[in-house]
Structure 1
Amino acid sequence: MEFILDVIFALLFVVSLCDAWSDPRIQKPASRWSLPQQMPSQRPSPPASESRRLAQDLQGVQSKQLSEGLVSPLVWRFPVTPEVQTDVAVGFEQRRPVTPRTVAVMCGESAVLVEVKQDLFGTGQLIRPSGLSLGGCPVFGADFGSKVLMFVYELHQCGSVLMMTENKLIYSFVLTYTPEPFMGTSISRAEGAVIGVQCHYQRKQDVSSNVLMPTWAPYSSMRVGQEVLPFSLKLMTDDWTYQRPSNLYYLGDLINIEASVKVYNHGPLRVFVDSCVASQTPDVRVLPTYSLIENNGCFVDARNTGSSSGFLPQSRSDVLHFQLEAFMFQQGEHPYIYITCVLRATLASAPGDARHKSCSFSGDRWFAATGNDQVCGCCESTCGPEMTNTGVQWEGQVSLSPLQVQERQKLGFQ
């Protein structure tokens, strides 16, 4: 029965289409091969009432098709974007920042030296000097080859705070870094930092220098050190290549001596031999003694005895070579000679002055190992306290291993 009804509905649909096609009031589509009978501009337009009736007839036909189930309703929808599954790392640990060692502080007798690496955070990104200050004081100098910024100021400057305890004087400073935005932008890829620095001095003892090597930490850091800057004296071979294994010399020999200062996590330093005294015992207060270098770096042995003793031209700031002509104490009770020297170090970039020099006497004039002979002008008198140096200096007293000097065997005649 349902099959017969479906056939009847299909026949009725075909008949309705044929009636609509045979109706002269409906415009038929032209054949693709036929030419229009007249131009579109010449074809008469149907009346408005006739157009409305035609639209109603077509709407009725479509409604009838939908009601009879011959045309399926529109069910299309926009496709949904599929979700992309991502793999999550297993066992991931957040990397924590490592505290870099990028700040070094050295406390002098009357001034403080603070050195800051431009790679302050240890990330490879260099900070700008204009964003760094020590208690409001700007950067004093820079070693762009080593990428180090330096502050050199007196202890009472840069907003320092002095505290006194029963045994110590403590000067406290604050090193501040404020990041600046990139030029032409309002962004910055660095964080700020506040680093505390202290210099400790003994109140009841004579302390020439203290060295502070603090560790940087974000926003707060405070370290105090009591290490003394290491100086050394060595006996060297004739070509200055190796340390001499023997301390035996003969009269007339030249004793090659190397004075040096160790440079660790700070900028270049220049070493000076402030004074040297020879004695027959380790105690320089026991007579007899003989002054070799005095007056803040004047090698007076050549001036007093006409020897060939003197400083060699200084090619490295942290190393100083000098030669001493071997001698003996007359009527000495001990076979050995002890040499004790006071060494000094300042910033290599600081100019030499009357208290920081290495002067040798030759002919009738004084020469400086650095080439600046003007600083030797006071060697014939007394070098006063005036100085153009920065005031930052370190001292150390160093002794050589005892020297044994003998006479050469006399030549006999046959």
Structure 2
Amino acid sequence: MMAYFLQVAVLLSLAAAMAVYAEMKLDCRQGFVTLVWTESRSQADTSLFRLGNCFPTSLSTSEAYFNVDLNDCDFRRLVTGDQLMYTNDLTYISSPDSHIVAFTHPVVCAYERPDNWYPMAYNPVFQTYGLEYLVFNIGLMNGDFSGPAESTSFPLGTLIPIMASVAQKTHQPLLLLLEECVAATTPELQPDSIIYPIISNKGCFVDSMTSRSQFEPRQKSSEIQVSLQAFTFALGEEVFIHCELLAWDPNGVDHTKKACHYVKGQGWELLDNPDYSALCDCCESSCKSRRTRSVASGKRGVVQKGVLGPLTITDVTF
């Protein structure tokens, strides 16, 4: 096993009621996992165990054995600080006539993150957030968005390239939007925080009205690129950009699920289809949904808060 993939297997303890009749052995290796569940109850049917969506690799009357790849079985991957975490559920599906009650047991493997590994090949200026089955990223890029930024310092008036993305894997195709973004001098927003609005009113790039800021043409529906003109707010101080990222049904765009920026001499334009820029008409008033289904329902999208920074905007000296 490679040194940088030093394993720290996280074995969560069994509930007290289960400890007397069952034992789980988990071996987290580079790229794959071995799990053995041993049952002492003769009524248990080991063929009814599942690791995520995977059947046992082999089984006996008392054991369910799994030897699976971390890219299979619906393992969820999260990046937390200096760790890669893979999580899943071991589930027992009880049959109708069984005395064994169905149950779910968490399975977690944690590894030290390699120094040269970053989500989607980006460097540490990217922040990663895991939520349910999705992984969100937001970070600073170089001038042509071909790689990570080499600096977190930007002269006043220059463009700050920002890209956000959502990794969706087996999920249906999603459209990534930025609902709200503000700049502040703290990594956490407080009720009395002084902020600089960047994107507001459900996807309106308000900063583009008075600057060269704009959304860049999309390369993928699951990514969104922003060129933000460096502003005078908190000049010379550490700045954090707080955003609400929305992964949404591509067919559900409306007045509150959109990406609009202001084009000089033309007015507000919808990023994804300028022919429907009428959805941006509310950007200077109040954008309200005309649909009844919401993000809160969990049926069409997921919202995740993200913080980018710190970065510094420097004064231009001559």
TM-score normalised by length of structure 1: 0.44
CA distance in 1, matches of 2:104, 2:215: 39
- How far apart are the structure 2 equivalents of 1:217 and 1:380? 54
Larger Rg: 1
Say if 1:316 and 1:222 are closer, same or farther in 2 by CA, change over 3 A.
Answer: farther
1:403 is matched with 311
- The 3 A distance-change label for structure 1 pair 357 and 389 is farther
Structure 1 residue 374 displacement after superposition: 2.8
Secondary structure in structure 2 of the residue aligned to 1:302: helix
Shift, 1:284, TM fit = 2.7
Structure 2 residue 295 is the aligned partner of structure 1 residue 387: no
Return the match for 1:291 from 185, 197, 200: 197
Cα distance in 2 for partners of 1:383, 1:216 equals 44
Question: Once superposed, which parts of structure 1, at least 4 consecutive aligned residues long, lie more than 3 Å away?
Answer: 96-103, 212-229, 388-391
Stretches of structure 1 that go unaligned for 5 or more consecutive residues are 1-95, 104-120, 122-211
Number of equivalenced pairs: 204
CA contact 1:274–1:296 (8 Å) conserved in 2? yes
SS at the partner of 1:409?
Answer: coil
Taking every aligned residue pair, what percent have the same amino acid on both sides?
A: 30
Which residue matches 1:301? 207
Alignment of 1:48-63 (within 5 A): none
1:253 corresponds to which of 148, 158, 162:
158
Report 1:148-167 matches (<5 A). Answer: none
Task: Give the counterpart of 2:243 among 337, 341, 347.
Answer: 341
Question: What is the CA-CA distance between 1:271 and the residue it aligns to?
Answer: 0.9
Call closer, same or farther: CA 1:368–1:407 in 2, change over 3 Å.
same
Contact 1:102–1:216 (CA<8 Å) still a contact in 2? no
Mapping of 1:79-158 within 5 angstroms? Answer: none
- The CA deviation at 1:292 is 0.6
The equivalent residue for 1:325 is 229
More strand by share: 2
CA contact (8 A) 2:90 2:105 kept: no
Deviation at 1:370, TM superposition (A): 0.8
Q: Return closer, same or farther for 1:329/1:368 CA change in 2, 3 Å cut-off.
A: same
CA distance in 1, matches of 2:253, 2:104: 32
Q: Distance in 2 between matches of 1:321 and 1:310?
A: 9
Sort the Cα spacing of 1:378 and 1:238 in 2 relative to 1 into closer, same or farther, 3 A: same
Q: CA deviation at 1:264?
A: 2.5
Equivalent residue for 1:376?
A: 280
Residue deviations 1:14-64 (CA, integer Å, cap 9, x gap): xxxxxxxxxxxxxxxxxxxxxxxxxxxxxxxxxxxxxxxxxxxxxxxxxxx
Aligned pair in 2 of structure 1 residues 231, 380: CA closer, same or farther (>3 Å)? same
Assess if the C-alpha contact under 8 Å between 1:352 and 1:388 holds in 2: no
SS of aligned partner of 2:282: coil
Q: What is the alpha-carbon distance in structure 2 between the residues aligned to residue 222 and residue 346 of structure 1?
A: 32
1:238 — aligned with what? 143
Q: Secondary structure at the match of 1:354?
A: coil
Residues in 1 aligned to 2:194 and 2:294: alpha-carbon distance in whole angstroms: 37
Q: Residue 207 of structure 2: SS of its match in structure 1?
A: helix
Q: Secondary structure at the match of 2:197?
A: strand
Q: Give the 5 Å matches for 1:40-55.
A: none
Query: In structure 2, how many angstroms separate the alpha carbons of the residues matched to 1:223 and 1:266?
Result: 22
Measured in 2, the distance between the counterparts of 1:98 and 1:218 equals 6
Post-superposition CA distance 1:67-96 (Å, at most 9, x none): xxxxxxxxxxxxxxxxxxxxxxxxxxxxx8
Separation (CA, whole Å) in 1 of partners of 2:90 and 2:49: 11
Amino acid at match of 1:358: A
Give the match for residue 351 of structure 1: 252
What residue number does 2:58 align with?
A: none
Q: CA deviation at 1:287?
A: 3.8
Per the alignment, in what secondary structure is the counterpart of residue 375 of structure 1? helix
After superposition, the CA RMSD in angstroms is 3.2
Whether the 8 Å CA contact 1:275–1:342 is kept in 2: the answer is yes
